[in-house]
Every structure is written in C-alpha cells, then in structure tokens.
Amino acid sequence: MQWVTRQGVRVDRAAMIWLIRKFIDPQAEIAILPEAEVLEYARETGATPFHHPQAELRHRGTRTGFDALRTHYALDDPALGVLALILRGAETADKGLTPWSAGVAAIGSGLRQDAADDDAFIAGMTPVLDGLYRFCQELLAPAAKPGANR
C-alpha cells in the first residue's frame, strides 16, 4: 500500500509512520512531499494521505494523527492506547497529560534538531517508539504473584 504525508515530520507523524509499519502495513511505501503536492500525489497514485490539513487521517483538536490511525483501523491493543496518551501529551499543550509526555516531547525536539532530514528523524524516532511501546506493554502487564520467582 502507498501512503503520503507532508515534509517537516515531527513526533506525531513519526509515530504515525511507526504505527503504519508495525501494525497496519509492514510493506508500506511512504512518500514525504511538500504539503502542496500531497493530495495530488494521492489522487494520481491511490496513496493514502495522512497528517495533512485536508486528509481524513490527521491531528484534530487534542487528538493526534496517531489517535486517528488507531481509531480508523480499530487498533485496540491497550499498550497502543497508553502510547497514544503519551504522544497526545507530547504533541499538544498538555505536556503533563502523562508522566512521560514532556520527556517524549523533549527527545523528539532534540532528535529533530540533530536530524539532517525527515528520513533521519524517522530513523531516530523508531527505536524510541519501539521502546515506548515495550514500556507501555510492561506497564499494563499483570503483576507477578508474590513468591513466583523463588
């Protein structure tokens, strides 16, 4: 499947690309174009546009593009739900939404400043998002029974 988004990738778009590749379309071909070219490219190629002001799959109010993808594709993994809250806090004015949101925002900002381009930023954010997802899984894991490791 082909996907298309606009240049200037930040945390939410990097998270959307991560979600697409990990849970929706592992073989995804993702084009990153100037904003003015996204919808035309989508019409010409059949690519799914995302995180564009006129795309269905985009940031709306306090809901991120990551939220839009989770809802649209009915991804009900509880760990993705926790990750969505962390990202929502990182990407909106509510940095205190979770204890981890401000840290994710800071990491994303620093990686963005160091990245030569969108592809480098996405490559840098991918292991961060992998780690956050594992953290969210562990956060929701049942507690071990007392004495289970004796």
Q: Which amino acid is residue 28, in one-letter code?
A: A
Q: What is the pLDDT of residue 148?
A: 60
Domain of 61, in residue numbers: 2-140
Q: What is the pLDDT of residue 43?
A: 97
Q: What is the pLDDT of residue 114?
A: 96
* Residue 12 CA, distance from chain mean position: 5
Q: What is the pLDDT of residue 127?
A: 98
Q: DSSP E strands: which ranges in 34-99?
A: 48-49
**Could you read off the pLDDT of 63-91 as tens digits, one per residue?**
999 999 999 999 999 999 999 999 999 99
Q: What is the pLDDT of residue 149?
A: 61
Q: What is the pLDDT of residue 82?
A: 98
Residue 61 in any domain: the answer is yes
Q: What is the pLDDT of residue 142?
A: 85
Residues of the chain with pLDDT under 70: 144, 147-150
Residue 146 in any domain: the answer is no
Q: What is the pLDDT of residue 61?
A: 86
Residue 149 in any domain: the answer is no
Q: Domain total for the chain? A: 1
Give every CB contact of residue 56 below 8 A, 6+ residues apart in sequence: 49, 68, 72
Residue 27 in any domain: the answer is yes
Residue 150 in any domain: the answer is no
Q: Tokens representing 132?
A: 């956050």
